């Protein structure tokens, strides 16, 4: 199955998603877990449209610096535009498997909703380890798509759509194995915290409503008919109209350190 393409339309949808209240709260949780200090140098792997870089730039101040790296030119362009007024952010074209930075460059390396798309997670973690200074911290945030709950009046159709949508990722259950993978890469002090996102009413600007657009676009590209995908989305909106809407997702923020010794 083909992975989701972060072309112009994909990057635009991530931008819309990042403006939702749920995404803003999640960025605040990531920032809290990173506990940055003024002057820190931070790398955001898969920086997308640059919302995280924008938020983190305040925490590191003018003496610090945020570098974003992403292979999608459209994402880089949106990120540069978003942060054009900031003197301490930079965006680079590049890939997690071959980061364009020297060894031991960063105080912290973070990545949000990116490692679940990678074919080579150990390679990406090895690169994160390489570019971190001794004593530096890594933060990886991903969803476990097996823990997604979405009320539907047609359970078989929901299963069909979500099974197809899982193909947009390399590993829809990465949090299951991320702890051992971090340790195998050499990291210590590995820990994980959940971010549970719940919606009990339908709001067209919410995380789940924007996710619906990703789902419809992707599953149709994988052979599900437009009519079937639209009927799935209409059903969810109709449940919202009768006060029967329920969406819940489990995301995990993993943190770990590169030993100072």
Ligand X SMILES: C[S@@+](CC[C@H](N)C(=O)[O-])C[C@H]1O[C@@H](n2cnc3c(N)ncnc32)[C@H](O)[C@@H]1O
Binding footprint of ligand X on the chain (CB under 6 A): 6, 14, 18, 45-49, 51-52, 70-72, 75, 95-96, 112-114, 117-118
Select 4 or 158, whichever has its Cβ closest to ligand X.
4
Q: Compute the least distance from the CB of residue 155 to ligand X, in Å.
A: 27
Closest to 185 (Cα-Cα) out of 97, 89, 92, 121: 121
Displacement of CA 185 from its chain's centroid (Å): 21
Name the closest residue to ligand X (Cβ). Answer: 48
Select 32 or 200, whichever has its Cβ closest to ligand X.
32
Q: Compute the least distance from the CB of residue 2 to ligand X, in Å.
A: 13
Q: Compute the least distance from the CB of residue 1 to ligand X, in Å.
A: 16
Select 51 or 258, whichever has its Cβ closest to ligand X.
51
Closest to 18 (Cα-Cα) out of 64, 52, 53: 52
Q: Compute the least distance from the CB of residue 107 to ligand X, in Å.
A: 19
Select 70 or 199, whichever has its Cβ closest to ligand X.
70
Q: Compute the least distance from the CB of residue 150 to ligand X, in Å.
A: 19
Asked whether 117 and 3 are in contact (CB, 8 A), the reply is yes
Select 38 or 71, whichever has its Cβ closest to ligand X.
71
């Amino acid at each position: 199955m083909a992975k989701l393409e972060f072309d112009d339309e994909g990057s635009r949808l991530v931008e819309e998603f990042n403006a939702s209240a749920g995404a803003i709260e999640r960025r605040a949780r990531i920032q809290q877990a990173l506990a940055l200090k003024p002057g820190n140098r931070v790398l955001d792997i898969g920086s997308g449209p640059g919302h995280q870089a924008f938020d983190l730039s305040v925490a590191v101040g003018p003496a610090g610096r945020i570098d974003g790296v992403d292979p999608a030119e459209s994402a880089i362009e949106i990120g540069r535009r978003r942060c054009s007024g900031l003197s301490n952010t930079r965006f680079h074209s590049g890939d997690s498997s071959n980061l364009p930075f020297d060894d031991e460059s960063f105080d912290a390396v973070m990545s949000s909703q990116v490692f679940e798309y990678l074919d080579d997670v150990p390679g990406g973690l090895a690169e994160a380890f390489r570019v971190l200074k001794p004593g530096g911290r890594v933060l990886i945030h991903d969803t476990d798509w097996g823990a997604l709950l979405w009320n539907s009046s047609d359970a078989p159709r929901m299963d069909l759509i979500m099974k197809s949508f899982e193909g947009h990722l390399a590993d829809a259950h990465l949090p299951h194995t991320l702890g051992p993978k971090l340790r195998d890469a050499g990291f210590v002090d590995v820990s994980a915290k959940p971010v549970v996102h719940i919606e009990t009413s339908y709001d067209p600007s919410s995380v789940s409503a924007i996710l619906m657009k990703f789902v419809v676009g992707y599953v149709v590209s994988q052979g599900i008919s437009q009519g079937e995908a639209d009927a799935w989305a209409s059903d969810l909106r109709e449940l919202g109209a009768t006060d029967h809407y329920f969406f819940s997702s489990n995301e995990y923020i993993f943190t770990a350190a590169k030993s100072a010794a």
